[in-house]
Structure 1
Amino acid sequence: MDKLLEIVTNAAEIVTKAATLLCPDLEENTQTLQRKIELLKSRKVDVQEDLQNAGKKNAGKKRKRVVEDWLIHVENNITEFETLEQQIQCSRFYSRQKLAERVERMTKEVMELDEQGDFPGGLFLEVDESIGQLMLTPPHNGQAFLQNFNDIWSSLMDDNILSIGIYGMGGVGKTTLVMHAHDKLLNEPKFSGHVYWITVSQEFSIHKLQSDIAQALKLHFSCGSDEKKRAAQLFQTFQQRGSSVLILDDVWKQIDAEKIGIPPRRDGCKLVITSRLKEVCDRMGCQRIIKVNTLSEQEAWELFLKKLGRVELHPEVEEICKKMVKRCGALPLALVTLAGSMRGVTDIHEWRDASEELKESCMGRADMENEVLPILLYSYDRLRDPKLQRCFLYCSLYPEDYPIRKEELIENFISEELMDRRLSWRAENDQGHAILNQLERACLLERVYLIYLDEYHVKMHDLIRDMALGITKHNRRYMVKAGLHLREIPDVQEWTEDLDKISLMKNSIGEISIGISPNCPRLSTLILSQNPLKSIPDCFFTQMRGLRTLNLSSTSIQYLPHSISDLENLRTLLLRHCFELKSVPTLEKLRLLTRLDLSYTGIEELPDGVESLTNLKVLDLFSTSFSMIPTGVLHSLSLLQQLRLPNRKGVQIEEVSALKQLEDFCGSVNSVRDLNRLIAFLQSMMPPSFYFIVLISKFYGHIFREQSRSKLVGFGKESLMDSSLGEGEILLPRDIEELCFSRSGLSGSLADGFQMLNNARYVKKCSVSSEDEIECIIRLSSTEEQQSRGVPFQSLEKLLLYGLPNFIGLLMWEGKAAVAPLSPGIFTQLTDLEINECNKMKKIIPWSLLQTLPNLQKLEVNYCKEIEEIIGDEDDDGSPVINSSAEVTMPRLKKLTLVNLPELKSICKGMMICDSIENIKIMLCTNLKKVPPLDGQPSPPPSLKKINVHADEKEWWESLEWEHPNANNFLQPFVNFKHFE
């Protein structure tokens, strides 16, 4: 036995030595990778600490999506390395070669992640300091509304009332009332911006509600899923925040506040709930209960006319309208929806017909609230056009109260073939926007503005969604269990044979049990996105052969089941943001596929069979780790209209040039020559709707939003310095809208480096970040020479400058910030100017430039160490161009933000007229003695909404000097002293 053990041991040593000889550097390379992983861990900790302890520096800001993505990629690499270490320790010669390749790949990725972790321009986006969730506040509806609002507000201000219940039937306006209160509370010093809104809905659980509240509080649970421990952590967080308000909207049954973790006490959290049921308010022990009644007859009539959009009505039409208003039971939602469906109708016959239809739809409905749904259903029926109805019903697949991105909806309308077919993607996109506009006008969808994304989304009122789901129970059946925090998929008995669409998005489904195979032969759409789903059994899809759309986006899935390869009717496969996905089975049989999204996945090779997808119109491979795309693949996909390629590899120009129907392109190129060839190709066809082209793959684009729909060219790391990229003049597309530079090697003047900018008529946005050598945007010369060169940036609307250590000023004249006459037209369309970390600048806007900025609406200057003055020039002898009596007018300026400018002594030496100013934020500018935009008049600017100052700087604010003796007094109601978090 001992002899046998000795033989085995010797054999193992021989195998190990052979393996070491095969890959002699594996251990050393692994140690190198380990050191880089440790450095990456340290950087991750630093970033997380900055996020958690934002405090003053990042006041009022929301973390950027690129930061979130970076943290996810870092965590994935750390986890993968731990697994890799174990595999190396147990490896033999047959696996070491593959492990060595993984070590090499990971080392490159970790180095890139470490470099990207610099985040030029910071970790956060500027948003409203207090709003955690946007409340789009509709206009109020008359005296009854004001009375109810005053009752609510007086209760909120009463320290003895800790819980308030607001009840009334569906559609009566409870949520609208509380939205108004929410927005007003944000500016109430008593609560320091600690106001949180949660939509509860009919189906909720303690676990889900705790998660939603934690998200609003920006709290990360450290206790797993234990509800008691989570409640204790929530309770403690509320206690630490001090006075705050928690609004629970749409509560259907009693909630035990203590089980959730809500402390209703004087030094804790004030609770507000809305419900359709008074008994819910009673059972939750609300100290003040307010009933929201329907409108008066006159208020109902005025609201209907307002939404109808008609000033004069024919007497017979007016009589019909009054009958219709009466049938609405004075419910605002019913009135608004009905009026929206009748807007634009002029024919008396159509009015009479509509009145009869409405009368019949409400027959037999004795209960007031039950009358609302027939009215809403009538508005749906009045859409008439089947495609409008199909698109409307599709919106109900999203969770309740969920803001839906318009572009995402339209992409789904197209891929689900809900609209009329058009020859081009642009035409279909236009049709999608037209449909959404029609649904908004009919008041079946609401428009919501998301501040942190700076874009409009749409969503459904919960009653309208209920109506839509009711329709789908009878025709082309839907099963919608979205946003309910489900831990498991519904029981197999619920997966009936007649189902057409199933949405389980935004739940907590982690796995699908082995052996489950629902029998759904007619199922066309399955949405499992936004679940922590890790795996799907192979048998799951075997009885879904009619499936046309499969959405697994934003899941934790690692491998797809092979049964996907047999879904021959599949048109759409969405795997976006599946960061852990490593491979996709062959797609060869999916010849009907028109849309394939593999963006932000971990797959390293293009799936087998993609070249067979000859019907493909949309292919998204952005932010993948592909080493290459095999030659000939793109050439075979001749119907492609949208193409987004990996951002690390240069595109093969010959392949792209074969795509004659291309309308939307995103990719990078490796040389100036390729850039020029690609631009020439794109311009030779009908100009594309959108493009995003980057010169070389390492592009630090914090100024790039992945959903951006623009015509953009960017210049990445050292792309203007590296001779290997090729020589020659850089061409820009004639219709370019955005221009971005990030560590590209810009030097001197931007306009001098790109002469074509002098005649670029369409550039609306320019971003320059982390450029060490750039000194200015435009270097001025004589007026005659300026005129001969053209007018640069004549259409520019947004100019963003981040991390420019040698930047002196926007304009330069004879080596210094300019005092010189300008050609007319320069910067005349500029609305947004943002300057961050430009530490050599002393003045922002020269007096000579100010006169050419009539449209400036937003001026933001942050973290510039040497800034002394915002607006001003000096003559050669150093004397100021503007004296104290000079009048400085900024007619459209709405927002002024000045943060961390330690040397700032003056905003402007002259008298500043700024009647349009709405928001001012000044923080860490303690050498500033005057705030001219707020002074010099006997009353505050008419548009002023708020002035944000850090709570620790009250003494500084009170020490400010004012030209008008009463300025400090009349400004006091607008000042918010806050602890920015």
Structure 2
Amino acid sequence: MDCISPVVDVVTKYLCDPFFRQIGYLVNVKENVKKLAKEMGTGTKGDVQRSLDTARREGKSSTHAVEVWLRQVQEIEANAVAIQAEYEKGKTCLRGLGPNCWWYYRLGKRAAKLMVEVEDKYKENFDGVATTPPPEVVEELETTPIDDQQTATDMIQKVLDCINDEETRIIGVYGMGGIGKTTLMKNVNNRLGSSSCFDTVIWVTVSNNPDVASMQKKIGDRLGLDISKAADIGSEPLKVLRNKRFLLILDDVWKRFELKTLGIPRPTVGNKSKVILTTRYAHVCSDMEADRSIEVKKLPEAEARSLFRKKAGPLVASESIESLAETILKRCYGLPLSIVTVARAMANKKEVAEWEDAIAEMNLSAANLRGEEYHLLNFCVGEGLVDRQGTRDRPATLHAARNKACTLARSLKAAGMLEDGDDGKTWKLHDVLRDLALWITSTKSVEGLMFIVKAPEAAEWQEAERISLRDKNVEELPELSECTKLRTLLLCCNKSLKAIPQLRFFECMHSLRELDLSETGIKSLPHSLSNLVNLRVLCLAHCEGLEEELPPEIGELGKLQVLDLEGALD
């Protein structure tokens, strides 16, 4: 018996088991096909696909392993569908006189083997279905197309020629504010997306008050670096960029600064990297050691007129409006930003009166509305645009007044008169539009100087309607004999201003509606405050030097609606 047992094992292993396995393919064909269909319907592929779709919505891309797995599963699914279809169709041999055993055997064997593939494939594990993709070489920027402006197209080609010049490392693009430097360079940036010779193109806005940390983060993000925890933030981009051919576009540069402060290696002929900067001043190009400087000039008269008519609509060519449109166009001085903004605001204005009233409407544009709704509300209350007191029949609420103030601001923004501030919480005018608005409202007329933003002589106070001396290092105020037209006086952020004249200042400001003394160094308010009989808004926020209680004369200000004492008195 001991001799027979090994023989039986060998016969069983090499003869019986294979024989019964092959017979099983034929006998169990129906069961195998059903199992295969059930396993394919478990949803494993669907789970992986849903996880991948979620990751893609977050900006991630599938890993190579997951892509290969999905392709293999699709092939398995196709084979399973084919087996199921063949089984359902069925076949016979001997002209329908009996079952086709050989065909069923092969079909059962295919189903069994495919079942093993499915089980093995569904057991595979992934470290993750998706990963954060490397940054695009060029990040496309939202901008206004300028292909229809011949002057702008020529300027783009000049910049591209400089980029392709191997001897040019730093390129300066300069011109007055609103001339279109930023729009020009955004179009250059986007053109590089189709055929860039650089490993990466990085756009950074510098501005008059550069935020180095924010710029470093922007550069790090474009390189796919998390520099938030780096000991030396600037060193991380420096290491990466030394091994890359890069193009850095620095927009709105006001003065020289060292590239290494941002973690940017200096471009050389050897590393074939480039830096382009835009600035208002030609000397900044020299200070930044630009190899080539390109001046962006105003639009020619014909192009300016064409752009204005395109944005404002065909009505500007009508006989009654054409001369008024030409007057407004001349005040835009060939600056594309001014032309586009003013034209959009005047689009489809049909009445002559609307065009004649356009300048008056621009008075609503503040130079820089502080971003919190509360400050915007104060501005509108002071200007009489909203009323927080309401009437007996229609009492106002803070919520309703705030809504109206924000609606006014959104209307200005929709017309292109306002844009978002750098922090996302403020509204502001582009500095060119600010200059344009100030030019219009400061022009002498029969009513005199309307809006003053620099320290005026005593005589100029007499005719002014609005004076903004915010953060102008004002140390003292003049004594005045007449100032009856003044409606708004903004003296905020002048820490050196320690006192308001006790006499000959407020006595003549009977029309004043808004007085902002916040963040000044004043220690007390004069008793002449009671003369401000039309005052609606009084801001004393963060006047930390106030040593005395508020004078009782404040109780005589019958029209006062806003009194801001935040951070002013204990």
Q: Map residues 701-712 of structure 1 onto 2, 5 A cutoff.
A: none
What's the TM-score, normalizing by structure 1? 0.32
> Is the contact between residue 248 and residue 276 of structure 2 (CA under 8 Å) also seen in structure 1?
yes
Deviation track 1:495-523 (CA, whole Å, cap 9, x = no partner) reads 77899324559xxxxxx8xxx77114779
Compare the two structures and name the one with the higher helix fraction. 2
Residue 795 of structure 1 corresponds to which residue in structure 2? none
Q: Map residues 738-817 of structure 1 onto 2, 5 A cutoff.
A: none
For residue 518 of structure 1, what is the amino acid of its counterpart? K
Residue 498 of structure 2 corresponds to which residue in structure 1? 518
Residue 543 of structure 1 corresponds to which residue in structure 2? 524
Per-residue deviation, 1:173: 0.9
Deviation track 1:226-281 (CA, whole Å, cap 9, x = no partner) reads xxx99x75984674684444433333455555687653224496322222333432
Residue 469 of structure 2 corresponds to which residue in structure 1? 479
For residue 430 of structure 2, what is the amino acid of its counterpart? H
Deviation track 1:666-712 (CA, whole Å, cap 9, x = no partner) reads xxxxxxxxxxxxxxxxxxxxxxxxxxxxxxxxxxxxxxxxxxxxxxx
What's the secondary structure of 1:181's corresponding residue?
Answer: helix
What's the secondary structure of 2:277's corresponding residue?
Answer: strand
Residue of structure 1 aligned with 2:275, choices 257, 262, 271: 271
Residue 315 of structure 1 corresponds to which residue in structure 2? 319
Residue 285 of structure 1 corresponds to which residue in structure 2? 289
Q: Distance in 2 between matches of 1:131 and 1:518?
A: 55
Closer/same/farther in 2, CA of residues 549 and 288 from structure 1, 3 Å limit: same
Residue of structure 2 aligned with 1:459, choices 428, 436, 442: 428
Residue 361 (structure 2) pairs with residue 420 (structure 1): no
Q: Distance in 2 between matches of 1:60 and 1:413?
A: 41
Per-residue deviation, 1:198: 2.3
> Is the contact between residue 476 and residue 497 of structure 2 (CA under 8 Å) also seen in structure 1?
no
Structure having the higher Rg: 2
Per-residue deviation, 1:312: 7.1
Closer/same/farther in 2, CA of residues 425 and 191 from structure 1, 3 Å limit: farther
Residue 484 (structure 2) pairs with residue 493 (structure 1): no
What's the secondary structure of 1:144's corresponding residue?
Answer: helix
Closer/same/farther in 2, CA of residues 449 and 290 from structure 1, 3 Å limit: same
Compare the two structures and name the one with the higher strand fraction. 1
Deviation track 1:302-350 (CA, whole Å, cap 9, x = no partner) reads 2111222345742353355346545644321332344345445434477
> Is the contact between residue 239 and residue 268 of structure 1 (CA under 8 Å) also seen in structure 2?
no
Q: Distance in 1 between matches of 2:143 and 2:328?
A: 26
Q: Percent identity at matched positions?
A: 24
> Is the contact between residue 263 and residue 269 of structure 1 (CA under 8 Å) also seen in structure 2?
no
Q: Distance in 1 between matches of 2:553 and 2:415?
A: 33
Per-residue deviation, 1:165: 1.0
Residue 409 (structure 2) pairs with residue 436 (structure 1): yes
What's the secondary structure of 1:195's corresponding residue?
Answer: strand
> Is the contact between residue 497 and residue 522 of structure 2 (CA under 8 Å) also seen in structure 1?
yes
Closer/same/farther in 2, CA of residues 307 and 251 from structure 1, 3 Å limit: same
> Is the contact between residue 396 and residue 469 of structure 1 (CA under 8 Å) also seen in structure 2?
no
Residue 334 of structure 1 corresponds to which residue in structure 2? 338
Per-residue deviation, 1:436: 1.9
Residue 310 (structure 2) pairs with residue 306 (structure 1): yes
What's the secondary structure of 1:295's corresponding residue?
Answer: coil
Per-residue deviation, 1:175: 1.8
Q: Map residues 377-416 of structure 1 onto 2, 5 A cutoff.
A: 381-383=359-361, 389=364, 392-393=365-366, 395-396=367-368, 404=371, 407=373, 410-413=376-379
Closer/same/farther in 2, CA of residues 526 and 349 from structure 1, 3 Å limit: closer
Q: Distance in 2 between matches of 1:300 and 1:596?
A: 49
Closer/same/farther in 2, CA of residues 477 and 193 from structure 1, 3 Å limit: farther
Residue 131 (structure 2) pairs with residue 149 (structure 1): no
Q: Map residues 26-105 of structure 1 onto 2, 5 A cutoff.
A: none
> Is the contact between residue 173 and residue 293 of structure 2 (CA under 8 Å) also seen in structure 1?
yes
What's the secondary structure of 1:263's corresponding residue?
Answer: coil
Residue of structure 1 aligned with 2:143, choices 114, 137, 141: 137
Q: Distance in 2 between matches of 1:410 and 1:314?
A: 38
Q: Map residues 146-295 of structure 1 onto 2, 5 A cutoff.
A: 146-156=153-163, 160-182=167-189, 195-201=202-208, 208=210, 210-211=212-213, 213-214=215-216, 216-217=218-219, 236=238, 239=241, 242-255=244-257, 257=259, 262-266=264-268, 267=271, 270-295=274-299
> Is the contact between residue 60 and residue 129 of structure 1 (CA under 8 Å) also seen in structure 2?
no
What's the secondary structure of 2:368's corresponding residue?
Answer: helix
> Is the contact between residue 309 and residue 316 of structure 2 (CA under 8 Å) also seen in structure 1?
no
Q: Distance in 2 between matches of 1:257 and 1:139?
A: 30
Q: Distance in 2 between matches of 1:268 and 1:503?
A: 49
Cα RMSD between the aligned structures?
5.4
Q: Distance in 1 between matches of 2:405 and 2:138?
A: 30
For residue 304 of structure 1, what is the amino acid of its counterpart? F
Q: Distance in 2 between matches of 1:235 and 1:179?
A: 23
> Is the contact between residue 246 and residue 270 of structure 1 (CA under 8 Å) also seen in structure 2?
yes
What's the secondary structure of 2:252's corresponding residue?
Answer: strand
Q: Map residues 299-698 of structure 1 onto 2, 5 A cutoff.
A: 299-310=303-314, 313-318=317-322, 320-322=324-326, 324-325=328-329, 328-340=332-344, 342-348=346-352, 381-383=359-361, 389=364, 392-393=365-366, 395-396=367-368, 404=371, 407=373, 410-413=376-379, 419-421=385-387, 422=390, 423-440=396-413, 443-446=416-419, 458-467=427-436, 471-473=452-454, 475=464, 476-481=466-471, 493=475, 500-502=489-491, 504=493, 518-520=498-500, 524-525=515-516, 540-543=521-524, 548-550=538-540, 563=546, 566-567=549-550
What's the TM-score, normalizing by structure 2? 0.50
For residue 478 of structure 1, what is the amino acid of its counterpart? S
What's the secondary structure of 2:178's corresponding residue?
Answer: coil
What's the secondary structure of 1:346's corresponding residue?
Answer: coil
What's the secondary structure of 1:307's corresponding residue?
Answer: helix
Closer/same/farther in 2, CA of residues 337 and 411 from structure 1, 3 Å limit: same
What's the secondary structure of 1:172's corresponding residue?
Answer: coil
What's the secondary structure of 1:169's corresponding residue?
Answer: coil
Q: Distance in 1 between matches of 2:566 and 2:272?
A: 47
For residue 479 of structure 1, what is the amino acid of its counterpart? L
Residue 819 of structure 1 corresponds to which residue in structure 2? none
Q: Distance in 2 between matches of 1:570 and 1:209?
A: 44
Q: Please list every run of 5 or more consecutive structure 2 residues that lacks an aligned counterpart in the other structure.
A: 1-54, 61-131, 221-226, 391-395, 440-451, 457-463, 481-487, 507-513, 530-536, 555-559
> Is the contact between residue 253 and residue 277 of structure 2 (CA under 8 Å) also seen in structure 1?
yes
> Is the contact between residue 548 and residue 569 of structure 1 (CA under 8 Å) also seen in structure 2?
no
Residue 628 of structure 1 corresponds to which residue in structure 2? none
Q: Distance in 2 between matches of 1:130 and 1:316?
A: 52
Q: Distance in 2 between matches of 1:527 and 1:242?
A: 50
> Is the contact between residue 304 and residue 336 of structure 1 (CA under 8 Å) also seen in structure 2?
yes
For residue 446 of structure 1, what is the amino acid of its counterpart? E
Deviation track 1:44-66 (CA, whole Å, cap 9, x = no partner) reads xxxxxxxxxxxx999869xxxxx
What's the secondary structure of 2:321's corresponding residue?
Answer: helix
Deviation track 1:725-779 (CA, whole Å, cap 9, x = no partner) reads xxxxxxxxxxxxxxxxxxxxxxxxxxxxxxxxxxxxxxxxxxxxxxxxxxxxxxx
Closer/same/farther in 2, CA of residues 301 and 540 from structure 1, 3 Å limit: closer
Closer/same/farther in 2, CA of residues 180 and 563 from structure 1, 3 Å limit: same
Residue 772 of structure 1 corresponds to which residue in structure 2? none
Closer/same/farther in 2, CA of residues 563 and 322 from structure 1, 3 Å limit: closer
